Homo-oligomer: A and B are copies of this chain.
Amino acid sequence: MLGHGTVGSAFAGLLEERADAIEVEVGRRPEISGVLTRSRGDFDDIVERSDLIVELMGGVEPTRDYVLRALEAGRHVVTANKQLLSQHGEEVFDAARRGGVQVRFEGAVAGVVPAIRVMAETLAAAHIERVHGIVNGTTNYILSEMARTGASYEDALADAQRLGYAEADPTEDVTGKDAAAKMAILARLAFNAAVRLDQVSYEGIERLTADDIAYAKDLELSLKLIGSAERIGSGLAVHVYPAFLYADHPLASVNGAFNAVTIESPAITEITLSGPGAGGIQTASAVLGDVVSAMIPPPSLVPPAVDVPLVTDTEFSFYLHLEVADRPGVLAQVAEILGMQDVSVKSVVQKGLGEEARLVMVMHPVLESKFRAAVDLLSRLDFVREAPRVIRVIEETF
């Protein structure tokens, strides 16, 4: 391991936690053979004792030198370093080819969203026409907050800083430079062309106003910082800019600190991948996925199954729709029967319909068998006029 900051410590923790499972999966157990930081460790000694180098120091120098030396010495490298790859990518990729080893970098773009793997592997044979991405969680959080609360850019930024979504100096994020580095890397993979950071033009979100977003809402548009890489004739265009998205665009509903990438190609129409942007544990998780992939030669996709029991009775939230006679005491009786089976009502709407009434309820999560028992009892009551209608309800848990 090179570097031991936030992502580095998260990675070391995750590796220890998952080492047993990885050993089952891959047949080898990963172990950290050495750590290089500014104050400790010897690079040559660490390379000597390793099959694979995890680079989480960040920055361009001296990281570049370490990465090139590791690859040339025939060690796989897993890195999350967008600066290095967007500025010196070809040098790194060439060194990997010369060393006959892998360089993997899922963590460098969009955290745990598997954009790199999908482009490099699933779509290796596809003719990609365009990539649109929300690849900076800080700016997406700020824009989402401006849209949700009507806050000004300055207030939303201060809020993001307070919550740890933006750094004290947010320049790299809010100017679009961070997104530009990530788009250079995505464009490299999408089009197999050597795109460098200094070739990507970018605009940030610093000059956007609450007014812009209010107008967007009127027009049913949402405002996002978009990275775009596309083929134009026989050339390419790679930009980062704030843009309004129509409501049916797959990136329009990506809110908060989430990242997402939409990839367009004639044969696949479009694929969208979304998930949390960079966070220590999420980036560490992407890095670990790369480490495991590099450990598998040849890829054996499906390891032997282990024995896990199937559970048939589980908890759900339920929606319950009852057509009942409109007379006193009905709701109380319904509530009593539900309560006897430990079914707790989250919300209820009652509508009178002349002689009848309609009860529409959503329940808190409850074991299905108990809920079904309650519904069975309810269906036998004389004031229940039709078979009760039951549908499960799923809440977003994050």
Contact = CB atoms under 8 A, between A and B. Distances in A.
A269 B276 contact: yes
A189 B306 CA distance: 11
Which 10 pairs, one residue from A and one from B, show the smallest C-beta to C-beta distance?
A: A194-B305, A193-B308, A271-B275, A243-B392, A235-B311, A267-B285, A249-B396, A235-B309, A93-B302, A232-B311
Contacts of A84: none
Contact of A309 (B212, B218, B236): B236
Contacts of A272: 272-275
Interface in A251-273: 251-253, 255, 264-265, 267-273
A338 interface: no
24 contacts: A26-B124, A96-B302, A102-B298, A106-B122, A121-B121, A121-B292, A122-B289, A125-B291, A125-B292, A126-B288, A188-B305, A192-B308, A193-B307, A194-B305, A235-B308, A235-B311, A243-B391, A243-B394, A249-B395, A267-B288, A271-B273, A271-B274, A271-B275, A272-B274
Contacts of A193: 305-308
Given A235-B310, A272-B275, 9 more contacts: A117-B118, A124-B293, A218-B349, A235-B308, A236-B309, A237-B311, A244-B319, A265-B285, A268-B276
Contacts of A397: 264
Interface size band for A: 35 or more
A289 B212 CA distance: 42
Interface stretch (A17-25, A50-58, A170-178): A17-25
Interface string A90-109: 10011011001011101000
Interface of A: 14, 18, 21-22, 25-26, 89-90, 93-94, 96-97, 100, 102-104, 106, 112-114, 116-118, 120-127, 132, 188-189, 191-195, 199, 201, 208-209, 212, 215, 218-219, 221, 223, 226, 230, 232-239, 241-246, 248-253, 255, 264-265, 267-276, 281-282, 284-286, 288-289, 291-293, 296-312, 314, 319, 321, 347, 349, 360, 362, 389, 391-398
Contact of A298 (B208, B245, B297, B362): B297
B394 A246 contact: yes
Nearest to A276: B269
Contacts of A212: 321, 389, 391
Q: How many copies make up the complex?
A: 2
A239 to B, nearest CB: 8
A13 B88 CA distance: 37
Given A237-B311, A269-B398, A126 B232 contact: no
A397 B305 CA distance: 42
B264 A275 contact: no
Contact of A97 (B18, B300, B310): B300
A176 to B, nearest CB: 13
Contacts of A297: 297-298
A124 B307 contact: no
Contacts of A362: 219
